[in-house]
Amino acid sequence: MLVALLLLAQLQPLPPTLIPLASDEGQKLLVESTARRAYFPLASQFLTQRSTSFCGVASSVMVLNALPLEAPVAQQWAPFRAFTEDNIFNDETRKTLTPDFVAKGGLTIEQLTFLLSSNHVDAKATHADTSTLEQFRAQASQALAEPDRYVLVDFLRGKLGQDFGAHWSPLGAYNAAADRFLVLDVARFRYPPYWAKAEDLFAAMNTFDQDAGATRGWVVAAKAQGAPARVEIPSFAHKILRYAVAAGSIVFLLGAAAGALLTRWRMRRATSV
């Protein structure tokens, strides 16, 4: 009965141990946080995973688009460039990891690290059982306080008082006074972004992943040395492009109007004859 209700629900209620970002307390934690360099770049690229197994893919796409990396052309938006849940699987990646494989069971920590690395990211993974709460807190909070560094966490939802299943999401900030991390949950159809206690989040990562044969953990990601930089459109060139598009639109409209007037004139002339 409980499972049926969960499946019918549009959004799961957060347990009392988690603080919604949208609440007054959650917003205050963000404002007072000093380790929040990741929040706004990630929020600008927030993505809902397209299937229940694509949490790791969606989290990676958010990080890739937030990093100053050259993105491939997005087929659905060509000629514009962006990382998507499709083109993140480039030719190199598909030799080892395919979308169909991920759709069947998600990503282990090693697979997500490989996915990022094959897209010009310096990705360092840590299994929770090889580290400590103090080390996680120090590494993650330091990364979140620096530009162009991001943290992705692999955890078991039940350890946070949520419903069921394992999950990937990026972290957006750390509030030292509350000792809480902001989890930007990519399954927005299940849970909103929330603040979790560092101790609880570490315990949720320090769980055994049967697919990996190891515990879950976290990945710190940054642009790899020598990676191609994001393609920026110079402001002057951008203005010229905008003017050219506007001029082209005006010419098209004038041509259409002239054609319509010419057609009406010909029709009237034919009628009068």
The per-residue pLDDT for range 85-105, each reduced to its tens digit, is 999 999 999 999 999 999 999
How does pLDDT run across 123-165, given as a tens digit for each residue?
A: 999 999 999 999 999 999 999 999 999 999 999 999 999 998 9
Instruction: Report pLDDT for 257.
Output: 67
Q: Active site includes 55?
A: yes
pLDDT of residue 234: 59
Mean pLDDT by 10 residues, the chain (273 residues): 51 92 98 97 97 97 97 93 96 95 96 97 98 98 98 98 95 98 96 98 97 96 92 62 67 68 68 59
Instruction: Return left, alpha or beta for 128; rule: phi > 0 is left, psi -120 to 50 is alpha, else beta.
Output: alpha
- Structural tokens at position 152: 């992705």
Instruction: Select which of 55, 127, 154, 209 is catalytic.
Output: 55
Residue 235, pLDDT score: 60
The reported pLDDT for the residue numbered 228 is 87
pLDDT at res. 1: 47
Q: What pTM, to 2 d.p., does this model score?
A: 0.82
Q: What pLDDT does residue 231 have?
A: 73
pLDDT value for 256: 64
Which of 120, 127, 185, 200 is labelled catalytic?
185
Q: Which of 120, 167, 200, 209 is catalytic?
A: 167
